[in-house]
Structure 1
Amino acid sequence: MRRPRSVVVVGAGLAGLRASVALRGRGFDGDLTVVGEEPHGPYDRPGLSKEVLTGHRAANDTDLPVPSDLDARWLLGRRAVGLERAGRRLRLDDGTDLGYDGLVIATGAAARPWPGPGSLPGSGIHTLRGRGDALRLRHALAQGGPLLVVGAGFLGSEVASAARTLNVPVTLVGSAHQPMERAVGPVVGSVLAGAQTAAGVDLRLGTTVTRFVGRRTLQGAVLSDGSRIRARTALLALGARPNTGWLRGSGLLLSEGAARGVARDRRGRALTVDAGPVPDIVVVGDAAATPHPLPGDGSPTHLSIGHWSEAVDHADAVAAALLGHEDPGDHPVPSFWSDQFGLRIRSVGLPGLADLTRVHEHDPDRSRLEVSYHLGRRFVGALTVNRTSRLAAHRERISREWRRITSV
């Protein structure tokens, strides 16, 4: 592959910024263009569901630092709507066509909309993905609630925690038997359920919303168990889906189901529908479906990981692939964190793959927890609550396991 003279980065969030910085760090001195759908530059999303909602942090304080020597052209408030791979042309929503030698797909993900049944009231229903969403929800919470959170995963649990610090009444509805169960399993989920209940959350698990009450403004909801919830504001925390619709018809492999996103190889290069790598297109961040050997017998299976760490940890690898440099080596172990209800939850690996959870420490009086996750005989993840220092050893063990699998 010849060295690219011009690179277009589609996505002006964390993943796009880190990939741009990595390209410059690896000596790319050609034209660099960053396209972003939102009207402002890169910012950090994790604080949106925590400090920004509570008012302890201004929305602008989430801005990410952009190196003064990045020397990039920023096209903000512009959205990619199509890709013509043969001619290396990217089409934007204003009709502009951008040519490229190298392309970085970093378009992230969007909040999943209400799937039904029924329609939504004209006002009172929120999703939370971007900065504007956080400001609108913060304004709604300032009115005092009650708040209905639909979805008891990471986002739903964090928003419920933020609302309770504002003394807003919260009902949290989740279809699983425990909060965050799909991500961390039932053992940790039961601990989180106890913390949420102790904080005054009305926890409704194993149920779903069948319809919202109210036409012009939200008044409440009816649940699948027949109960009725009163609410002035509702947050739909139903997960995220990658922003990859603009790539339909491009010939790239768009994975569905659990492996949502643009399928990529181990180095980050996008795959075509016949599973061949595209040397001039790489994918990073929430838009990527990443190959991983853990779920199977050593052959890669694509996973949608979607953690903050993925955008950061893979930026250098995709920059190296796009510039034709050698693979920088082992890819880091994914990690995630969540602060809610006074708990510092930290995890490494892929706990959601596990079929067995082992408890190493559980101290309810001091709110401490340490667990490990296993898939058959393989060690696939670990999680701590208020025990962050315990994770380093787990991370190293997982890294050794992954190196062993991929070297076979």
Structure 2
Amino acid sequence: MKRGTDVLVVGASAAGLATAEALRREGFPGRITLLGAEPHLPYDRPPLSKQILSGQWRAERTLLRPPRLLAGLDLELILGSPALALDAANRTVRVGGGSITADHVVIATGATPRTLPGPPGLRGVHVLRTLDDALALRGGLNDAQRVVVVGEGVLGSEIAATARELGRDVTLCGPLSAPMAGQLGDLVGARLGALHRDNGVRLELGAAVDGLTDRKGEVTGVALAGGAVLPADLVVVAIGAAPVTGWLEGSGLSIRDGVVCDAYCRAAEEIYAAGDVARWQHPALGEVRWENRTNATEQAAVVAAAIAGTPRPHAPISYFWTDQFGTKIQVHGTVTREATAQVVDGDPEDGRFVVRYEQEGAVTAVLGWNMAKQARIRRQELIEGRADPVPQESRSR
């Protein structure tokens, strides 16, 4: 490690802060600058669609570290200042009013929500990515009665569950056949759909969304392909996110739905990427980009190791979780639409079970539905790359 060198981390969320913490654990003695576009101290995003949106938590509970621990990291924090451009050859980042040059640059700018076409500034339309988004949506839900959530993925399903628990009339719509079918497959997606219906969420799935309807600048509904309109006085758009890479145009870095990196998360000489913005070469899976909290932290540690002179490839097993209507779902590995799903522990009728996903004879994922410990045990099958025989009576129903 070069003593006294500087690291500039662009992005002050989970991946950015985890990079700084990992550098200090590695013994990095130099200056670390953490540059954030938002004015807030680094905070956690998973609680936004649940505890913050429901009002159970105050905003300060989302802080990743209290101010006293941040001070102990000896960081230079620059908040409320988005990066505007990068000169990769000179490792210089332009910000409002000047520029910052460092020996190492870490790109951790995350992702930004995708939106639907329609009139700009339409009242009653929300996205959820930032703390300010969550607080604005919570305020909107106080006055709303009919809520439509567009997007049946993880975020959309969580928002629909939280809004319904707040007593709102909720409709969840999207092109897939079940909530989170793209992340869980059809077997568990159908089970999650039943959970939503049992709790009063109206499902309008299997149809694309054409756009929004409005009257005098206020949203009135969501138009589906085929002509149907779902009435609403509040709409949440949760149709995925795009990596924040616009500021990297002309930088010389390779950009392809994220910052393209090698297996060590290196995008160019002494330039790295971590978190939702990074598209890296997974040694086993090829080129991937993952948007989950666990990967952000693990990838940050790999970046810090590379800067510290002890590089190692980033070859994790993907992991994410979701909490909806008191049910915790945890997924180890990657679920594909081609994989076959088998119940290997527990029983769906009892509300506690584990599903194993296999493709071409290999285990690709393990899912626990209110069965975290057994899912962690089954995760070993992903590491071993094989599956034990499944009793006939345990196969999916």
Same fold per superposition (TM over 0.5): yes
Q: Aligned AA for 2:382?
A: I
Contact persistence 1:121–1:217 (CA under 8 A): no
Relative to structure 1, the CA distance from residue 13 to residue 121 in structure 2 (aligned partners, 3 Å threshold; closer, same or farther) is: closer
Between the aligned partners of 2:314 and 2:278, the Cα distance in structure 1 is: 18
Q: What is the match of residue 56 of structure 2?
A: 56
Q: Deviations over 1:175-197 (max 9, x none)?
A: 01111111111111100110011
CA offsets, 1:139-173, max 9 Å, x none?
Answer: 11111421000001100100010011111000100
Is the partner of 2:148 in helix, strand or coil?
A: strand
Q: Distance in 1 between matches of 2:241 and 2:120?
A: 19
Distance in 1, matches of 2:91 and 2:35, equals: 16
SS of equivalent residue, structure 2 residue 89: coil
Distance 1:400 1:282 in 2: 30
Question: Using the alignment, how far apart are the partners of 1:70 and 1:98 within structure 2?
Answer: 20
The DSSP-based 3-state class of the residue aligned with 2:162 is helix
Partner deviation per Cα, 1:261-298 (whole Å, 9 max, x = no partner): 1111222111xxxxxxx241111111111222555xxx
Matched with 1:281 is 271
Q: Distance in 2 between matches of 1:5 and 1:150?
A: 46
Equivalent residue, structure 1, for 2:339? 355
Residue aligning to 1:346: 330
Residue 58 of structure 2 aligns to which amino acid in structure 1? A
Q: Which ranges in structure 2 are unaligned for 5 or more consecutive residues?
A: 387-397
- Percent of counterpart pairs with the same letter? 38
Specify whether residues 149 and 248 from structure 1 end up closer, same or farther in structure 2 by C-alpha distance, changes over 3 A only.
same
Q: CA deviation at 1:74?
A: 0.7
Question: 2:177 is matched by which residue type in structure 1?
Answer: H
SS at match of 1:159: helix
Counterpart contact for 2:125–2:236, Cα < 8 Å: yes
Q: What's 1:21 paired with? A: 21
Cα distance, 1:267–1:401 mapped onto 2, change above 3 Å: farther
Query: Letter of the aligned partner of 1:377 in structure 2?
Result: G
Counterpart residue identity of residue 212, structure 2: F
CA distance in 1, matches of 2:48, 2:225: 30
Q: Is the 8 A contact 2:91 2:271 kept in 1?
A: no
Paired position in structure 2 for 1:106? 108
Bigger mean CA deviation after superposition, 386-395 or 199-208:
386-395
Whether 1:307 aligns to 2:292 is yes
Amino acid in the other structure paired with 2:316? P
- 2:142 maps to amino acid: A
Aligned partner of 1:263 among 260, 263, 288: 260
What are the superposed Cα offsets for residues 23-47 of structure 1, whole Å, 9 maximum, x if unpaired?
Answer: 1111111111110000011001000
Q: Which deviates more, 17-26 or 214-223?
A: 214-223
**Mapped partners of 1:359, 1:4: distance in 2:** 54
CA offsets 1:239-271 (integer angstroms, 9 cap, x no match)? 11111111122121112xxxx21111222111x
Aligned residues: 382
* 1:330–1:138 distance in 2 versus 1, CA, 3 Å: closer
Aligned pair 1:33/2:47, yes or no? no
Q: Aligned to 2:15, what secondary structure does the other structure show? A: helix
Tell me how far apart the structure 2 counterparts of residues 133 and 121 of structure 1 sit (CA, whole Å): 14
Matches within 5 A, 1:225-244: 225-244=226-245
Q: How many angstroms apart in 2 are the aligned matches of 1:97 and 1:336?
A: 36
Match of residue 275 from structure 1: none
C-alpha displacement of 1:64: 1.0
CA pair 354-265 structure 1, distance change in 2 beyond 3 A: farther
The one-character-per-residue Cα deviations of 1:73-94 (angstroms, maximum 9, x if unpaired) are 11100011111122221111x1
Determine the C-alpha separation between the residues in 1 that align with 2:314 and 2:111: 26
Q: CA RMSD in A?
A: 1.9
Q: How does 1:312-327 map to 2 (within 5 A)?
A: 312-327=297-312
Q: Is the 8 A contact 1:108 1:286 kept in 2?
A: yes
Alpha carbons of structure 1 residues 306 and 352: separation in structure 2 relative to 1, 3 Å: farther
Q: What is the CA–CA distance in structure 2 between the aligned matches of 1:261 and 1:132, rounded to whole Å? A: 24
Contact 1:9 1:105 in 2 (8 A): yes
Q: Given the superposition, is the C-alpha separation of residues 88 and 391 from structure 1 closer, same or farther in structure 2, using an over 3 Å criterion?
A: same
Matches within 5 A, 1:55-204: 55-65=55-65, 66-92=69-95, 94-114=96-116, 116=117, 118-119=118-119, 122-204=122-204
Q: Counterpart of 1:244 in structure 2: which amino acid?
A: T
Whether 2:46 is the aligned partner of 1:46: answer yes
Which amino acid in structure 2 is aligned with residue 251 of structure 1? G
